[in-house]
Structure formats: structure tokens, C-alpha cells
Amino acid sequence: GDSVTQMEGPVTLSEEAFLTINCTYTATGYPSLFWYVQYPGEGLQLLLKATKADDKGSNKGFEATYRKETTSFHLEKGSVQVSDSAVYFCALSDRTNAGKSTFGDGTTLTVKP
Amino acid sequence: DSGVTQTPKHLITATGQRVTLRCSPRSGDLSVYWYQQSLDQGLQFLIQYYNGEERAKGNILERFSAQQFPDLHSELNLSSLELGDSALYFCASSVGPGQGDEQFFGPGTRLTVL
């Protein structure tokens, strides 16, 4: 079946540091890929997405590129802020399985001033 | 505010009981998804409905059932509750049937089984 593997957390960075959160996936079909963010006490919200190979999703300074050859969708940000502290989830939606969604375990990011 | 509403916000009940969680999707969204988030198992996809019909099924226990009504709101029924069912239950909605669609998440219902 489909699966998503994220780098284990928690991740602690200083403000303005570079962020990478690794995400790799396995899927039987040709999935769409997503990054969601969950702030404390809230539900998940979409951060960015990519629907085909080599697509780059970007939002709020975050970027991720759909790499079919390495089955990866790593999240990056050049300079993190304290307000980026949250849990980040990588996810896929498998078009060959009626769009069933599979989420990674989440990576907790803490940014210190 | 995502536009997805969930009630109740908190629910405390005893083992063996049955509860119903309710979700109203964003206006115009036809798909509703249910997820369970627990500390030990992360975010688990339970089930999806699209325009009233079951569309995709995940790790949903037989003690759990769901449905989507003609007005598109959805209910998740949890019965014969066990301690391990304590979790945050999220509902999400999307415009289309799922492939490539952004999902909008509600604030969740926190279920505590004592």
C-alpha cells in the first residue's frame, strides 16, 4: 500500500536558520503530494502542493519539489521564524485509489529566537 | 477559519459507550474525510464520502461507521468505545472527489474515553 516517511523530529532551529524536512513516499499510482502544517490547538492547513513530477510548490517562503526519480518531496525554507513553530505533515493523494490520502507521522519544528 | 465546523469540541465518555461526531463541510465542498490523530499512531485516514457516497476507506474499525447526508454534513459514529479510542478526530472537506484536491480541516473533536 501507499506510505509516507518523514524525517523524525523534533527539530529545533534558531531564527533565520535553513530548514529541511525530508519526505519520501511509496505509491502504487501517480500521486499528488502535499505539505500540511498544524499550529498548536488547530487543525491542519495546506502549506503547499504539487501534482506532477518536477512541479515545485511554494508558499510563505516554503518550497518543495516533486521528485519522481527519488520519490521525494522535501520541504525547505531559507530563513525560519519563531512563528513557523508547528507540526509539519507530508501527505499523498493516490489517484489510482480514489484519492485516498496517506499522511506521514509529522515533524515538530521549534524555532528559538 | 477553514470554513469546516465540527461539534462537539470536546467529548468525555466511558468505555462501552457510543458517541456521534458531527461535521459540516465548507460551502460548495462535496467531499468529507474523517481522520483520527493519536499520540502513538499519528494521523490516520478513516473514511471519505463524496456527494453522499462512500469513496475511499482507510483504517476504520468495524465499531466505527460514518455517513454523509443529503445536505452534505457528515457524522462519525463510534461504538463500544475503548480506552484506545481516545484521540483527536478531524473532519476535512474538499471540492472534488479527492485526487489532487486541497483538503480543508476542521478544528477537531477531542474524545476522551475513561
Mean pLDDT over all residues of chain B?
A: 93
Terminal Cα-to-Cα distance of chain B (whole angstroms) = 31
Bridge partners for B86 per DSSP: none
Q: Is the pLDDT of residue B98 over 90?
A: no
Q: What is the mean pLDDT of residues A86-107?
A: 84
Please check whether residue B55 is in contact with residue B49, taking contact to mean a CB–CB distance below 8 angstroms: yes
Q: What is the mean pLDDT of residues A75-91?
A: 96
Question: Which tens digit of pLDDT belongs to each residue from B72-88?
Answer: 999 999 999 999 999 99
- Contacts with A45 from chain B: Cβ below 8 Å: 2, 104-105
- Contacts with B102 from chain A: Cβ below 8 Å: 34, 46, 49
Q: Is the pLDDT of residue A53 over 70?
A: yes
Q: What is the per-residue pLDDT for B99?
A: 67
Q: How far apart are CA A43 and CA B91, in angstroms?
A: 9
Q: What is the per-residue pLDDT for B92?
A: 94
Q: How far apart are CA A98 and CA B75, in angstroms?
A: 21
- Residue with cell string 477559519: B1
Subunit contact B2:A95, Cβ cutoff 8 A: no
- Contacts with A104 from chain B: Cβ below 8 Å: 42
Higher confidence at residue B40 or residue A102?
Answer: A102
Subunit contact A99:B2, Cβ cutoff 8 A: no
Q: What is the per-residue pLDDT for A98?
A: 62
- The full DSSP string for B9-20 is SEEEE-TT--EE
